[in-house]
Structure 1
Amino acid sequence: MYAALWRILPGPAWVRVILLLVLAAAALYALITWAFPWAADTFLPQESTVEQ
């Protein structure tokens, strides 16, 4: 998967590295902004029980 992503990206190696860093930062931003708050609201820790 990573090799395919590396081949798809345009430009020399240093441009590909910059693009990958930007894509990783965008994915992290999306997770922190939308995915993690949604999961925290959807799966409340009070609702999950563990039997002892």
Structure 2
Amino acid sequence: MYAWIWRKLPLGLPGKLIGSVLLATATVALLWFVVFPWAEPLLPFDDVQVTQDSGVPGDAPGGGLTDPTGQPEQDEELPYSTETNNAPPTAPGG
């Protein structure tokens, strides 16, 4: 098939190269703007639902995630200080 397309493209080697790039670009655009949007509702990638306990020991309700403010849960003990920054790294040998 590709050999047939290559033989049918006009204007020698430069025309064949430009024509090949244009055909590839048109194919990608057709897939990107027509085929993929049409197929997206048919694919289950966005259908994510957690409906039951995972069964993992120690898995607390909420999954141990942070609250919407980004702060860790109050009963979670962190092994580092969240109030101060760490000292900046020093140069090697200094």
Aligned length: 47
Q: What is the distance in 2 between the residues matched to 1:15 and 1:26?
A: 16
Structure 2 gaps of 5+ residues are 48-94
Match of 2:18 in 1: 18
Partner AA of 1:43 in structure 2 = L
Match of 2:28 in 1: 28
Structure label with greater radius of gyration: 2
Match of 1:37 in 2: 37
Structure 1 gaps of 5+ residues are 47-52
Per the alignment, in what secondary structure is the counterpart of residue 28 of structure 2?
helix
CA-based RMSD: 1.6
Which whole-Å deviations, capped at 9, do the CAs of 1:3-24 have from their partners, x for residues lacking one?
A: 1111111111111011110111
Q: What is the distance in 2 between the residues matched to 1:29 and 1:9?
A: 20
Runs of 4+ in 1 over 3 A off after TM superposition: 43-46
Q: What is the distance in 1 between the residues matched to 2:37 and 2:27?
A: 15
TM-score, reference length from structure 1: 0.74
Identity %: 35
Q: Which has the higher helix share?
A: 1
Match of 2:6 in 1: 6
